[in-house]
Amino acid sequence: MTDPLETLEIIPSLFAADPLRYCEALKAAERSKCRRIHLDIMDGHFVPNISFGASVVAAVAKEFPRLFREVHLMVQNPQQHFEAFIKSGAQRLFIHIELAPEVLEETVRCLQSEAVDWGFAVNPETSIETLQTYRDWVLNTQHLLLMSVHPGFCGQTFIEETYERIKELRTHFPHLKLCIDGGIRNREAQRLQALGSESVVMGSAFFKKVSV
């Protein structure tokens, strides 16, 4: 059976690496021929955890410029922070559809005026129908990050209902490039690819496989 690491784009999540060995982890990602790195930004409010900030994104941009930098903003007020991440070298931003409506509207309006790629992130408990509420915005972006665990912590178990959610997304928004994030190992990656996912974020599973 073909290894999905050879046929599906794997995006390592730096948050899952040993924080004292980020440099070695990024070198391992490059050796594995990964093209992108996923940077999870948590504020301790939107999710019950805290990660790192724009300075880490800037350091990755400086030392590993060949890695495309995706920044996943798990923060309550992204409109107050995204400019700092763009200046630090973020090349794609994901914001959560679950934000307060007024915050989401302001953030989308600001992002649409910036020269940066962006998309929505969707939590497991959020119905796909919610995206229909913001259909015009969804149709004007190409990327969607579908969470297959509850965001905030590494090492969680993949939520099986994700497969049906992908089918629903493909029905309503066939233009979206889907990236699935959370609890993914080779077995899940193979099925996700068969359902039409272009990429997956791997954290713990990736760094256990590579030499850091």
Q: Which domains does the chain have, with CATH numbers?
A: 7-209 (3.20.20.70)
- Position 75 pLDDT exceeds 60: yes
Q: Which of 16, 38, 12, 17 is nearest to 156 (CA)?
A: 16
Sorting pLDDT into bands at 50, 70 and 90, what band is 211? low
Sorting pLDDT into bands at 50, 70 and 90, what band is 212? low
Report yes or no: 183 and 166 within 8 Å, Cβ to Cβ: no
Give the residue-averaged pLDDT of 61-68. Answer: 98
CA distance 208 to 197: 23
Least confident residue range of 1-15, 106-120, 129-143, 190-204: 1-15
- Position 51 pLDDT exceeds 90: yes
Dig out the tokens for 160 from the structure.
């099986």
Alpha-helical regions (H) of the chain: 4-7, 22-31, 54-63, 82-88, 101-112, 129-133, 135-139, 162-172, 186-194, 204-209
Alpha carbon separation from 56 to 22, 48, 60, 84, 112 (Å, rounded):
10, 20, 6, 12, 25
Sheet holding 36-42, edge to edge: 9-12, 199-202, 177-181, 143-147, 117-122, 92-96, 68-74, 36-42
Residue 163 has what pLDDT?
97
Alpha carbon separation from 20 to 14, 23, 173, 212 (Å, rounded):
11, 8, 40, 11
Residue 1 has what pLDDT?
41
- Position 7 pLDDT exceeds 90: no
Threshold 0.85, pTM exceeds: yes
Residue 115 has what pLDDT?
82
User: Catalytic positions, please?
Assistant: 40, 181
Q: Which of 211, 209, 152, 204 is nearest to 183 (CA)?
A: 204
Task: Provide DSSP, 112-165.
Answer: HTSSSEEEEEE-TTS-THHHHHTHHHHHT--EEEEESS-TT-SSPPP-TTHHHH
Mean residue pLDDT across the chain: 93
* Angle in degrees, 0-180, between the axes of helices 54-63 and 22-31, rounded to the nearest 10: 50
- Burial class of residue 177 in the structure, from the number of CB atoms within 10 Å of its CB (0-12 exposed, 13-18 middle, 19+ buried): middle
- Position 2 pLDDT exceeds 50: no
Give the residue-averaged pLDDT of 90-109. Answer: 96
Residue 3 has what pLDDT?
52
- Position 30 pLDDT exceeds 70: yes
